[in-house]
């Protein structure tokens, strides 16, 4: 096994261990962190004109945001959940446009929105 393959295997085991030990609050934090990482990576791929990688990373971010959206309980969450649902839908739409137009500024816009949501989510743990 080469060093790269070994590192990837370690990361997989490490992430799987973190996920299996995480509570629901931490799992959402991990999803948001993963989304922000994919956005940064997609921006880098965009800057280096690596179109296939950019598309793959934006697709992963769309899937993460879609997962966050699917996890909302619109019945119990009331106005907050409805607002998050709309925001997540907007983020997904903007990511599609960023991918089509190769627009890094839109990736930054979505990253800022996701960071804001994450900061709010992180603050919940304190109460």
Q: What is the pLDDT of residue 8?
A: 46
| Alpha-carbon torsion (53, 55, 44, 29), positive or negative | negative
Confidence of residue 20 (pLDDT cuts 50, 70, 90): low
- What gap in Å lies between CA 39 and CA 57, rounded to an integer? 7
CATH topology of domain 24-124: 1.20.120
Predicted TM-score (pTM) of the model is: 0.82
- What gap in Å lies between CA 31 and CA 41, rounded to an integer? 15
- What gap in Å lies between CA 53 and CA 37, rounded to an integer? 14
Q: What is the pLDDT of residue 54?
A: 98
Structural domain boundaries in the chain: 24-124
Q: What is the pLDDT of residue 122?
A: 93
- What gap in Å lies between CA 96 and CA 25, rounded to an integer? 28
Q: What is the pLDDT of residue 19?
A: 57
């Amino acid at each position: 096994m080469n060093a790269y393959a070994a590192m990837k295997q370690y990361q997989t085991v490490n992430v799987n261990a973190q996920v299996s030990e995480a509570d629901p609050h931490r799992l959402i934090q991990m999803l948001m962190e993963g989304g922000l990482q994919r956005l940064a990576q997609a921006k880098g791929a965009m800057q280096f004109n690596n179109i296939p990688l950019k598309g793959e990373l934006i697709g992963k971010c769309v899937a993460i945001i879609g997962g966050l959206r699917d996890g909302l309980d619109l019945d119990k969450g009331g106005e907050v959940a409805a607002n998050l649902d709309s925001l997540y839908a907007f983020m997904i739409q903007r990511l599609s446009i960023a991918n089509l137009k190769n627009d890094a500024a839109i990736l930054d816009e979505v990253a800022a929105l996701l960071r804001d949501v994450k900061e709010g989510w992180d603050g919940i743990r304190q109460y």
